[in-house]
Structure 1
Amino acid sequence: MYQISCTKAVDGATVDTWKSPQLTVHPSVNSKLKRFLDIVGSLVGLLILSILFVPIAIAIRIDSPGSIFFTQERYGLYGGSFRIRKFRSMVSNAEKLKSLVHNEADGLIFKNKNDFRVTRIGRFLRSTSLDELPQFWNVLVGEMSLVGTRPPTKDEVSQYNQRHWQRLNVKPGLTGEWQVNGRSQIKDFEQIVDLDLQYQKKWYPMYDLLLIVKTFFMIVGRVGAF
């Protein structure tokens, strides 16, 4: 089991990192064009968030008592920790009820298509990816990218082997190969890792733009999300 053991500077911020195998510096990490796309895209996303925030917040509170946001620690580039915020799509005590939900996925992910903890408005937010809007802030400050890997949780990272760690050679993203190749329909963690490593091999600056366009059509068609 890996343990948090030191601090490290990532994009100017000092974060806790895990003991991990030697990680390779991927070209995307230092790409100025990728960072430019992230800044522009996140500003557009935050503008959309500012427009939709009030109606979404009201809908969440009417549908289910509790906070507007769901906050969680995630792990990104080289195992650096950061906090994400999403619009809350589950009941407020969802974590306490997790043991009552059957995990339909294989490996280090948790998925259930008919998870009873998901609220009515939450299902809509998930299917349209509106619950992800607050994460544009993580992109703007450099903790995430528009395109990358799915950011894992602490309990997932603690069980990573050397192959799994390779997916953290790039920043976590709002979208990625997993998003345009099935989204929530992908229930095998090893397949997600395959897609993440495929992204690293295929990557070139404009490839991110291609995946963003594909993601847009996936979201509009509500393909593969639940």
Structure 2
Amino acid sequence: MASTIQLIEVPQSFCQQEVAFIQSQLAEWFEAEAQVGRLVFDFAKTRVLDSAAIVYLRQLSQQAKDKGVELLGWSLRPQLKQVLTLAGIDQYFTFTETTNQVFGDNVDVAFDQQVHPSVISKGKRLLDIVGALVGLTITSVLFIPLAIAIKLDSPGPVLFSQTRCGYKGQQFKIWKFRSMVTNAEALKHQVENEIDGAFFKNTNDPRITKVGKFLRKTSLDEFAQFWNVLIGEMSLVGTRPPTLDEVAQYNSHQSNRLEVKPGLTGEWQVNGRSTVLNFDQVVEMDLNYQKRWSLGYDIKLILKTIQVVFSKRSGAC
């Protein structure tokens, strides 16, 4: 039997509810049509897209790869294509440019990106820039002694980088002072995860070096992230930036935590890092931050973070 092509007309609003519908529809097709060779997503009408859609498209890519199905994104408007590209979706989909077959030559329908007010707040951005400059000044003073201590304790680079997901699933390189052995990722499967859910945490992780324990206890390992804040990939306050494999496990509700920029600190870091060991609880704390957000609330969380660090109750995220 020859392989078939399935066309998915993506609705004007491609958000959590619509994602669930398309997800169930494709599940039926995959189950019934063993010979589907190509899935074509027609984005011509799409004007609104949220993190649930981005997370689902990434998850679908693995399912399609396993079944040998090609993914094609059709009729993307430039802004929508940019959002999906920043989130790394272009690694799995073949994109085509905008067409006017739906709206006609004389109709210009813009992509209406849904944005949380914290993302476009000039006050929050100013706070981030000032905080990042102060943090980087402190980091520059500490860099040489920290680098010497890290090198003497464990061979390898001073800094550690890892791809994380930020706002709307956008991929970026997070920076930290290295607190683990250099082959930590290869040894991860040998360490028990104390968190019930999508992300990984072990209080007594054996991969952490002696100097690394000090860096994490004082949160000095995260000072390199002030650079991520300065260039706008992160904020001083937000949600914990997840890894790609964590996001691959998200459901539509959990993906809502990507609707704000990731932060150096946030609700979970100051209100439950050591006691909240269930990922769904972390998600609810992140969503609570989105509901309560204000510039004053950010300042409150920053001050509380400083208090937590100096009380020696901090830990690594």
Q: TM-score when scaled to structure 2? A: 0.66
1:105 counterpart residue number: 195
Instruction: Answer yes or no: is the 8 Å Cα contact 2:219–2:314 preserved in 1.
Output: no
Structure 2: which amino acid aligns with 1:53?
F
Displacement of 1:182? 2.2
Instruction: Answer yes or no: is the 8 Å Cα contact 2:216–2:314 preserved in 1.
Output: no
Instruction: Answer yes or no: is the 8 Å Cα contact 2:237–2:263 preserved in 1.
Output: yes
Superposed CA offset, 1:71-109 (max 9, x none): 100001011000011001011111111111111110001
Match among 160, 165, 168 for residue 78 of structure 1: 168
1:132 counterpart residue number: 222
Compared CA separation, residues 154 and 40, structure 1 to 2 (3 A): same
2:263 counterpart residue number: 173
CA RMSD of aligned residues (A): 2.1
Sequence identity percentage: 57
Displacement of 1:8? 2.4
Q: How does 1:11-160 map to 2 (within 5 A)?
A: 15-18=86-89, 24-160=114-250
Instruction: Give me the whole-angstrom Cα distance separating, in 2, the residues matched to 1:7 and 1:84.
Output: 24
Displacement of 1:69? 1.0
Structure 1: which amino acid aligns with 2:168?
Y
Structure 1: which amino acid aligns with 2:193?
N
Instruction: Answer yes or no: is the 8 Å Cα contact 1:77–1:170 preserved in 2.
Output: yes
SS of the residue 2:86 aligns to: strand
Match among 72, 79, 82 for residue 8 of structure 1: 82
Q: Which moved more, 1:185-194 or 1:123-132?
A: 185-194
Instruction: Give me the whole-angstrom Cα distance separating, in 1, the residues matched to 2:113 and 2:273.
Output: 26
Structure 2: which amino acid aligns with 1:16?
A
Instruction: Give me the whole-angstrom Cα distance separating, in 2, the residues matched to 1:7 and 1:50.
Output: 38
Instruction: Give me the whole-angstrom Cα distance separating, in 2, the residues matched to 1:18 and 1:206.
Output: 35
Structure 2: which amino acid aligns with 1:8?
Q
1:206 counterpart residue number: 296
Instruction: Answer yes or no: is the 8 Å Cα contact 2:87–2:168 preserved in 1.
Output: no
Compared CA separation, residues 136 and 172, structure 1 to 2 (3 A): same
Instruction: Give me the whole-angstrom Cα distance separating, in 1, the residues matched to 2:124 and 2:132.
Output: 12
Displacement of 1:191? 1.0
Q: Which moved more, 1:31-40 or 1:160-169?
A: 160-169
Displacement of 1:123? 0.5
Unpaired runs of at least 5, structure 1: none
Instruction: Answer yes or no: is the 8 Å Cα contact 1:126–1:225 preserved in 2.
Output: yes
Aligned length: 221
Unpaired runs of at least 5, structure 2: 1-55, 62-72, 74-79, 91-111
Q: TM-score when scaled to structure 1? A: 0.92
Q: Per chain length, whose mean CA-contact separation is higher, i.e. which structure has more relative contact order (CA < 8 Å, sep 6+)?
A: 1
Compared CA separation, residues 24 and 222, structure 1 to 2 (3 A): farther
Instruction: Give me the whole-angstrom Cα distance separating, in 2, the residues matched to 1:58 and 1:185.
Output: 33
Instruction: Give me the whole-angstrom Cα distance separating, in 2, the residues matched to 1:18 and 1:222.
Output: 40
SS of the residue 1:105 aligns to: coil
2:310 counterpart residue number: 220
Larger Rg: 2
SS of the residue 1:8 aligns to: helix
